[in-house]
Structure 1
Amino acid sequence: MTATNIAIVGVGKIARDQHVPAISGNARFHLAATVSSHSGLDGIDNFETLDALLAARPDIEAMALCMPPQVRYEAAAKAIAADRHVLLEKPPGATIAEVEALVRMAKAQNVALFATWHSRFAAAVEPARLWLQDKKVRHVSVIWKEDVRRWHPGQAWIWQPGGLGVFDPGINALSIVTRILPEPFHLVSSTLEFPDGRDAPIAATLRFTGDGGFEVEANFDWRQTGPQSWDIEVETESGTLLLRSGGAEMHVDGRETLREDDAEYDGIYARFAELISTRDIDADLSPLIHVADAFMLGRRVVVEPFA
């Protein structure tokens, strides 16, 4: 099978840490170029702009867009118009409407579009979904706390409008919960803590209610030091499920049933290859909708400045 030539647009930390190794490890892709105005990758053809790449390299069939969400829509629209398949790093865009527009464009152009949620490809997520599919959920608790300085050093865009703040990691938790729960849920209250002088929150406390009467409580915080916390606990009438380490571990009633190393981006690129082969679209916006609702219902609390 001939490998698909793919380009990475936006060569930042996530591209170097996750996308490059995953592409290199997948025989169905060949990393043919990058787009970066600052620095590319050794031995890989680099272009300063997407326009330059699209004009010079018609052989590149797919694009992985890894730039901040605030500027992703224009790049995705250009790539789709040029008949390129598009993978969107999470969150897929700065607004729901712009991602919906990209879906319409991709359908009209008959190209693949993949709005990725990497945490859904954690090893224990699908086993958790299968375990829960016939269970009656009573209560869900989500604790997602990490150190922003460790994961986003010097990245100003995360504090700007559209950068999501603490929802950049928090949306990972929501992507898992929306995948594993057997019934949908919606937001009923939101408290957002904004550092003085910043346009995005550093912490959030959310409460949801499910169609079956259960509650989901979520606490997101970017001020965690020491061990990081990425846990989801689901209490059901038939026992308690616990996902730990962002979905890498699964426990049922206190007994560990699964623990595997991170291979989330390997799963993403396996899925993208499937979508390219069928020219299909995978763009579930439910995690982004919950974040938008959190901003709409959010009670704003100003906290100490973040520097």
Structure 2
Amino acid sequence: MVQTKEQYKYLHEALAEALLIGTHHWVTRQFESIYNLMIGKDIESSKTRIEQQFELITKSAYYARGQNAAIATGLVNDHIGTQNEAMIMKATESKPQCIVLSALGESRAFIALTSLHDDTAENFWSLVGKQACKTMIEFSNRSEGLHKADTYLGQKKGGRVGRYYVTLTEESNDRGFEERTYSYKEDTKGSSLKTFKQFYMPGMNKDPDRQCMLDLIEAILTWQSQLSTDTPILIKDGSNFHRSGLVMVLMSEICRIVKHDGKINLVETVVSMKHQEKHIIHSAAQLRICYDAILAYVQKPGIYQNLCLSTE
């Protein structure tokens, strides 16, 4: 039995960790109660339970990281495996740094690009074609103008980009982000015309607005309804995943809610993502944003909640 102060402390910490980063699921009807619990504080504690949870998640990720991450310096190529592995390639100025991230059992749900240069246009479309990508999310940087993307996606008027023919076919900006649709085709015999969408989010290195993130995710999932290893989503974010991490976590969790009839496991999603890349959800404030956004999602019927609530 417990005989020392150190043993008691160990049991207390183990119990706290089990309660705050456990693996159990919630259902949508429970989430408001869970939310209210997590934003509160324990007696004699100056920290909210969300703040305590973030500290435990960070501690867990510190020990686990390195085994689960699939990090590649350079463009992802055909050597990406099915177990969240990537070929390490020599970095050059014409190749962006890539990180392959798994989510909900999909080993290549996201391919995150931390940088792109003007001379990567052909390599970029090669990546899109080889990985069968349909979707890209881009977050603006302070040093980039609003249409910086045109330099590597191809000019608005369309035309040849290396061995690819690329044309901007549609553009809209009505919900706080820009949506651009491209058609592209490789200059090889038998190559077919394909469609690719870019969702461009301004923000100047600050956390996106909660409602804007939900609108963005709804638009993306209308276009590409699920996360898939076969069609990974590209993400470009020069803010060290501070913004894209929020969107990846929320999109993963919303896909879980829809796919599994209202089941929620936000903690599992954050832990899994943070084990792969430490900068994802980099503060307790960002974890609170995740809780706020999921609560808003499950409380709003119709446009955001395309799931059967009979399980509730």
Which of structures 1 and 2 has the bigger CA Rg?
2
TM-score by length of 1: 0.27
Instruction: Give the TM-score of the pair, scaled to structure 2.
Output: 0.26
Greater per-residue strand proportion: 1
